Structure 1
């Protein structure tokens, strides 16, 4: 079975790239020929994988012109390398339109599956398509229940599969060495709102240690904020790490303040280590973090509320959750379970 993963952008270092790389490693090559096609440069994350392709970036600003450009690119790719059995349109909902246009243009028969890796609403607000464009697909792989609901609201008969994301179950830490350490793992972007966490740490009466593992365009600004708040001895910026959890073994909890997420793989990985997760109640996260069972939610941008929660945890008024229960809460997403599910979906689509 030939499977194309068709992306409108180049790959970087992050959640979606980790999942695509997992597809290339966990779907048996003798059964699944997975071709990863990016519409701009960025296949370094698949270094060594011989079925990764990238086109030169499109300079067009208009979304329709870009989609037309993508259509020409993908049609040319198929003419050169042959048609897929299934085209998985990732990221933008509008990529389903590209796949459908190529299918019609070349008069070919293949199945189209949407696989949106963040909130559909966020893509729609950015002008990259909505559920209406996604309905060009024959079926939909959903990483959040929220995305699945959005599709079903517009088309109750749509074929949807909720899968979440594959979780590399991390080494279980029965008890951290230091109970007063928190961590954040991920990209440093404005939408991640790590600044809210820094403000909460400043407002809290008790001084938690805070490890930040990751890099991104907001890194310098966050370092300036931490310096202004005199948090040099409290906050560590560790940068991007290939094995980030090795640096978080002494952390009691993962803290996230995102404005939105697709699935937030790092939250599930933290739970697999036995950590409590403290997060804003965004789509994807609410599928596996349950307030009062394996984590806590605080309102978006609510640094005061987060500070109060951290003080109550520090003082023992609010508990950190049983580490074994935290791990069990994400077992359904472990690599083996996830890919058993993906294989069933692909066979359904054959």
Structure 2
């Protein structure tokens, strides 16, 4: 057990955030759940994030050995990731001031996302401690599938990621594919790259009675529900799912099936929705599937088990996905998952279940696979049980144990 304190940087978003319009996704879950599990193992750690709300407490004591510390950096409100880089010097100034005030010392700095990596490099050099880098997404891969200039990452991000790969003491990839991208596209040293597959909260995400779950969330009992859970952004390929739904209904107009999209802020009038939500709503109308597709809005993690268990199928239609934690959560609930071959979670599907993998940006193939699952009632229960069993070993406790070994290894290298 490592008794020295660990500094964790998640600059662009707070792992505790419950704001509907906040930048919330897999990184939030990853950092919070991993940190909680590290704390349970006796590791003291502080998670530093940017203050985004004047009403937020500056320090949140999550457990006796885990704190989330909000540091001012720019306006105290949610800002676009692309605007955040200019406030990094202020964040660092407040980080060092807090360290001095609290008389803190750290053995390792762990950084999540490239903006946090910029902060981590400064901390590494100033304090003389090793740095562990987890990217979560890679700019080069996002640009590979970007369909417009708005979706593309700038050269500055790519150059920063290359520098971080070079200077970090250890790099964590969340999938085999991302590990290969870091090594080949970013010239990463193979010996510095470790794969740490995210865990799943098995106490929260577990099978429940499907009809009871459908009743609880107000879903129709006689309809097959196809679920999407995640951020509403072009990279997620939600439009491909809508096209697949149209194809499915054209093949079988009497098919009782619906799509529920969980994510984003739909509490306002539709004309005030985000740009991407408005695009998807327009697609829904043009395709004539308005009554079959529902935008549910973002839900709290504690609510998600009801939605997963009410669903007959979860679809992850991403153009690029570093991992895909929602897919593992759904599997833990015994819900079959169709994922694209570019999502890291596809690594978890063995040859027996590779029929659940579809090609990115291929609505015809996706529609065929959805139809195969929802119409094959004989094998449905068997598939559900097998997928649930396959993820039972993916605990956050195991992930925390592997992470602590990396911390110890880093410390020894730098001694």
Q: TM-score, normalised by structure 1?
A: 0.84
1:199 and 2:243 correspond: yes
The answer (yes or no) to whether the contact 2:71–2:94 under 8 Å persists in 1 is: no
Which residue, 255, 271, 296 being the options, matches 2:315? 255
Q: What residue in structure 1 maps to residue 271 of structure 2? A: none
- Please state how far the C-alpha of 1:68 moved relative to its aligned partner: 5.0
Deviation at 1:183, TM superposition (A): 0.9
Tell me if structure 2 keeps the 8 A contact 1:87–1:110. yes
Is this contact kept in 2: 1:38–1:53, CA < 8 A?
yes
| Compared CA separation, residues 178 and 278, structure 1 to 2 (3 A) | farther
Which deviates more, 118-127 or 165-174?
Answer: 118-127
What residue ranges of structure 1 are gaps of 5+ in the alignment? none
> Matches of 1:269 and 1:287 in 2, distance apart?
15
Q: What's the counterpart of residue 207 of structure 2?
A: 172
| 58-67 vs 310-319, greater mean Cα deviation | 58-67
Corresponding residue for residue 339 of structure 1 = 400
Q: Displacement, 1:244?
A: 1.8
Instruction: Spell out, residue by residue over 1:250-276, the C-alpha distance to the aligned partner (whole angstroms, 9 max, x if none).
Output: 322111211211211001111111222
> Aligned ranges for residues 23-62 of structure 1 at < 5 Å?
23-28=34-39, 31-39=42-50, 41=52, 49=62, 50-57=67-74
In 1, Cα distance between equivalents of 2:333 and 2:83: 44
Secondary structure, aligned partner of 1:248 = helix
* Aligned position for 2:293: 235
Note if 1:109 corresponds to 2:109.
Answer: no
Query: Is this contact kept in 2: 1:179–1:252, CA < 8 A?
Result: no
Change (3 A) 1:312 1:48: same
The alignment's C-alpha RMSD in Å is 3.4
What is the deviation of 1:77?
Answer: 4.2
Residue 338 of structure 1 deviates from its aligned partner by 2.1
1-structure distance, mates of 2:89, 2:61: 30
- Which of 130, 133, 137 is matched with 2:164 structurally? 133
Structure 1 counterpart SS, 2:331: helix
Compared CA separation, residues 64 and 338, structure 1 to 2 (3 A): closer
Residue 44 to residue 175, structure 1, CA distance change in 2 (3 Å): same
| 3-state SS in 2 of match to 1:188 | coil
Structure 1 pair 241/294, CA: closer, same or farther in 2 (3 Å)? farther
Q: Deviations over 1:221-270 (max 9, x none)?
A: 32333233332332222222221230232322111211211211001111
Q: How does 1:54-203 map to 2 (within 5 A)?
A: 54-57=71-74, 71-81=92-102, 82-92=104-114, 95-104=116-125, 106=126, 108-119=127-138, 121-122=140-141, 125-126=153-154, 127-128=156-157, 129-153=160-184, 154-156=187-189, 158-169=191-202, 170-173=205-208, 180-203=224-247
Pairwise CA distance, 1:348 = 3.1
TM-score normalised by structure 2 residue count: 0.72
- Change beyond 3 A, Cα 1:247–1:65: closer
Separation (CA, whole Å) in 1 of partners of 2:386 and 2:121: 44
Secondary structure of 2:387's counterpart equals helix
SS where residue 255 of structure 1 aligns?
strand
Kept after mapping to 1: 8 A contact 2:39/2:45 = no
3-state SS of 1:304 partner: helix
Native 8 Å contact 1:267 1:285 kept in 2: yes
| Displacement after TM superposition at 1:30 (Å) | 8.4
Query: Who is 2:147 aligned against?
Result: none
CA distance in 2, matches of 1:80, 1:51: 16
CA 226–343 in structure 1, closer or farther in 2 if over 3 Å, else same? same
Using the TM superposition, give the Cα deviation of residue 202 of structure 1 relative to its aligned residue in structure 2, in angstroms. Answer: 0.8
The separation in 2 between residues aligned to 1:32 and 1:78, in whole angstroms, is 18
The match for 1:272 among 329, 332, 343 is 332
Cα 1:340–1:248 change in 2 (3 A) is same
Separation of aligned partners in 2, 1:74 and 1:246: 39
Answer whether contact 1:89 1:95 (CA < 8 A) is retained.
Answer: yes
CA distance in 1, matches of 2:56, 2:277: 22
Q: Is the 8 A contact 1:10 1:54 kept in 2?
A: no
